[in-house]
Amino acid sequence: MIWEVFRQEQAGEYHTHCGNVHAPDREMALTFAQIQHGRRKPTHSLWVVPQPEVSEVDDEAATFGGTTDKSYRWVMPYNRVDPEFAEEIAESEAEQRDADEQRSEG
């Protein structure tokens, strides 16, 4: 069976997908995951998930973010007010601008 592997670099971070292993059972999948994915890159924790248990939807089947203009739910159009007055608002603004840029590059 194929097992998908998710690695968390440090406590508190997100487990992100990093590959898969071929193993006959859960215990060996955990061992193989350590050998293949936990040795060089910093690793705090690994998850293994049986591949058939993972369901997928991709951008061919779905239009992520919808088909209509939803700019009103972003910070960008509200450009007559200044987010810099509070650190946490400026940070949220920066994160949204980043995400929007990455989306339009894709």
Residue 9 C-beta: closest distance to other proteins, Å: 12
Q: Which is nearer to other proteins, 40 or 55 (CB)?
A: 55
C-alpha of 62 from chain center: 18
Of the candidates 19, 22, 65, 99, which one interacts with other proteins according to CB under 8 A?
99
Sign of the CA dihedral running 17, 20, 25, 28:
negative
- Amino acid residing at 16: T
Of the candidates 39, 62, 67, 85, which one interacts with other proteins according to CB under 8 A?
85
Of the candidates 17, 19, 65, 74, which one interacts with other proteins according to CB under 8 A?
74
Sign of the CA dihedral running 42, 48, 49, 50:
positive
Residues 27, 37: Cα–Cα separation, whole Å: 15
Are the beta carbons of 1 and 12 closer than 8 angstroms?
Answer: no
Of the candidates 25, 42, 65, 101, which one interacts with other proteins according to CB under 8 A?
25
Interacting residues toward other proteins by CB under 8 A: 1, 11-14, 24-26, 45, 50, 52-53, 55, 70, 72-75, 78, 80-81, 83, 85-89, 91-93, 95-96, 99
